[in-house]
Amino acid sequence: MWGGRFDKPPADVARAFTRSFPVDRRIYREDIVASRAHAAMLGRQEIIPARSAEALTEALDNLLVELDQLGGPPVNADDEDVHSYVERVLTERIGDHGRRLHVARSRNDQVATDFRLYCKGFCLRLVTAVLDLLGVLARRAEEEAETIAPGFTHLQVAQPVTLGHYFLALFEMHRRDVDNILYAYTVADVCPLGAGALAGVAFDIDREFVAEELCFSQVARNSLDAVSDRDFVSAVLQACVTLSGHLSRWAEDLVIWASPGFGMVRFDDAFATGSSMLPQKLNPDVAELTRAKAAAIAGAATGWHATLKGVPLSYALDMQEDKRAVFRVEDDVLAALRALTGALDTLTVNRERMAAVAGMGHSTAIEIADYLTERDVPFRDAHAAVGRLVRLAEDRGVELADLDEADFVEADARLSADVRDRLDLPTAVARRTSLGGTAPARVREEAARATRWLRWQRDHVQDLVGRGLPPALQPSARAAVVR
C-alpha cells in the first residue's frame, strides 16, 4: 500500500506492533459501505471511469454479503488493517478497477468515517438496550408502588420510601444516560470523508453526496480537524462510563439487599451462581461483576483520554487505539446492561422483610418534628425535642410509638398521643405527596409518565435508526457482529 518509498519491508516485530487488523476487522461493514459511497461519488463526478465505479460497487456489495456469511474477514489474514484488506481483495478480484478506489481518499479520512459510522451504530444499539432496562424499571415501579422499603443515607435507614419510588430513581438515572448516549450520537454524526490526509483533495469531489449516502447529517468543515477529531470517541466512552457507574451503584444495592443480614430480595436462579464447595450458596455474581466491569470501562476511557491529549494535530498512529478502547467498552457495557436487566426483571422481593428493615432506627421520627412544626414550633426546636425522644426510646429499648404520653408531653407540651398515628410506615409514606415524593399516588403518576416518555423515546430511536444509518448498517441487516 505504501511500499514505493521504502527499500525494505518492515521488520516483523515492527509490523506486528503497528498492524491493527486483528482489532479493526470488526468494522469491515462500515469500511465496505463507506467505500461504496466513495466509489459511487468518484464515478458520478467522472473522477474515475463509470465502468470502474460500477465494478467497484458490485464487488463491494458481493464482498459484504460474503463476509457477513463468514462472520467477518478471516482472522488469519495478513493485512495491515481492515482498509488494506478490503482494497487488496477488490484488486485481486477486479484488477485495476480496485486500484482506483483510493483516489481522493486517505486512510486518515477513511478510518475516521468508518469509525464514526460504527460509533453511531453502537450508540443506537446501546440506547436500545438502556430503553429495555427502563421498560423493566417502569413496570416494576408500578408493581411496587405501595411496597414499603428502607431509604438509606450513609447506609443507615433514614426514612421509609416505596420500592416503586426507588425504581423510579433508577429510571431517572438511566433516562439521563439516554440523553448522554444520544448526545454522543450527534457528536459522531459528522462526515469527514473528503478531507484527505489532512489538507483536502485536489479533485472535484462531492462531499455532500457522500454524507447523504452514508446518512450523516453534517459534513466536517475543516480538513485538518476532520482527520484529527476524536471527540466523538471521548463522548461515547464518557457516556458508557456514566452508564456503567449508574449500573454499579444499584448493583451494589442489590448485593447488599440480597445478603442474609438484609434478606430483602432474592436473585432468580437463572441470574445467580453457586459455589463449587458450599452447596447452599446463591451468589449475586451478575451484580458483582457489573461493579468490576464499571471499573474496567472507566479505566479504558481514562487510558484513551490520556492517549489523545498528547497527540499533536493532525493524525498519529496513537489514534488507532480508539477502536481497542471502544470495542472493549462496548462488549463490557452491553453485557453488563443486558445481564443486570434480566436480573432485575426476575428479582423476587421479600416485602415483609423490606418493611421490617424500613422501620428500623426510628425512621419515622421526622413525623413528630413535622407535627410540632405544624403547631408553630420552630423546626430546630422541634428537631431537638424529637432527638430527646429518640434517645429516651433507645435507652428503654422500645420504639417511639411505645413511649408513654407523658414522655411526649415532657419533650414538648404541644405533643399529644395522636402523634402516634403518624408513626406507622404506610401513613408516613403516604404523607410524602410533594412533587417527586414517595407517596404511592405520586409513584403511580410518575410510573405512568415514565411509560409515556419511554414510548416516545422508543419511536425517536427507531426513527434515528431509519434515517441515521445506511440500510446495510441497520440492525435488521446486520447479519454478523465481529468479536
Cite the active site residues.
154, 275
What's the rounded Cα separation, in Å, for the pair 340 and 307? 31
Are the C-beta atoms of 41 and 209 separated by less than 8 Å?
A: yes
Q: Is 434 exposed, middle or buried (0-12, 13-18, 19+ CB in 10 A)?
A: exposed
CA nearest to 44, candidates 202, 197, 200, 207: 207
Helix, coil or strand: residue 470: coil
Enumerate residues 6+ apart whose C-beta is below 8 A from 435. Answer: 442
β-partners of residue 219 are 191
Helix, coil or strand: residue 152: strand
Q: Which amino acid is at 209?
A: F
> Strands (DSSP E) along 293-417, which ranges?
348-349
Helix, coil or strand: residue 349: strand
What's the rounded Cα separation, in Å, for the pair 155 and 82? 50
β-partners of residue 153 are 156
Are the C-beta atoms of 99 and 91 separated by less than 8 Å?
A: yes
Are the C-beta atoms of 322 and 304 separated by less than 8 Å?
A: yes
What's the rounded Cα separation, in Å, for the pair 363 and 42? 72
H-helix segments, 144-264: 163-188, 207-213, 223-228, 231-258
What's the rounded Cα separation, in Å, for the pair 240 and 291? 13
For 277-291, letters b (16+ CB in 10 Å) and e give eeeeeeebbbbebbb
CA nearest to 331, candidates 23, 20, 69, 19: 23
Question: How remote is the C-alpha of 82 from its chain's centroid?
Answer: 27
Q: Are strands 218-219 and 190-191 parallel, antiparallel or unpaired?
A: parallel
